[in-house]
Amino acid sequence: MSKSLLQAARIIKSGGIVIYPTETLYALGCLGNNQDAVDRVFHAKNRDAAKPLPLIVGTWEQYMRFTRVDDAITSIVRAFWPGPLSVLVTMKGVFPSQVMDDYKRTSIRWTPHPVAQALCCLANAPLVATSANPSGQPGPTRLEDLDPGLRSRVDSVVEDQPFAGGGDPSTLIEVLAPSRVRVLRQGAIDLSRFRARGITVVDNGG
């Protein structure tokens, strides 16, 4: 494990914010349960306070430990994780209101990216994983695409390989039943993969 990765993990654990690679885009993150760090992420991105921040975990055990287990959700995400599928869940423990919606839910995924996984495991907690860009700008897939202003407002940038996977952001779903989901954001996982498993897909208005 590289010195830069260990340093980034120490920064995160001490309440700092970092940019790191994921299987899709470069992410801006911090401890998901640290209020001050979450506030800094919102400020750094100039993000609308009404938009909750997504989270990632590094292992299945972390997912089970920090969320309220729902059999319907579990039956679906097991088929796609680790991978770029985010799902609305109810968290356990104390998390800032900015990472949850009005129903105390947030989106979470088990990342397959080795750097992001390592940071989650070293921090021993879910991490914020919002795209590393000023709000309204394209999400960066390469280090050279990072906004200089945003880069200056973080405590560390993880430049370890593998780099970000590129492509679309994660697909975001709400599980309505064991074989029925609502798609809140189309992304890296094509909807045909749900249908191939007998899962009914409805759009955001259905």
CB atoms near residue 32 (< 10 Å): 28
Alpha-carbon distances of 140 from 113, 144, 192, rounded to whole Å:
16, 8, 26
Q: Over the stretch 61-106, which tens digit does the pLDDT of each residue have? A: 999 999 998 999 999 999 999 999 999 999 998 899 899 888 889 9
Distance CA 135, CA 41 (A): 11
**Dmax of the chain from CA atoms?**
48
pTM: 0.95
Three-class SS of residue 15? coil
The model's confidence at residue 140, banded by pLDDT at 50, 70 and 90, is very high
Mean pLDDT of the chain: 95
49 pLDDT above the threshold of 90: no
Q: Which two tokens stand for residue 25?
A: 């885009």
Structure confidence by residue, pLDDT tens digits, 7-22: 999 999 999 999 999 9
Nearest to 156 by CA among 3, 2, 12: 12
Domain edges within the chain: 3-175
Q: So what's the pLDDT on residue 206?
A: 56
- HSE of 80 in the Cβ direction (CA atoms, 13 Å)? 27
> For the structural domain made of 3-175, what CATH number should be given?
3.90.870.10
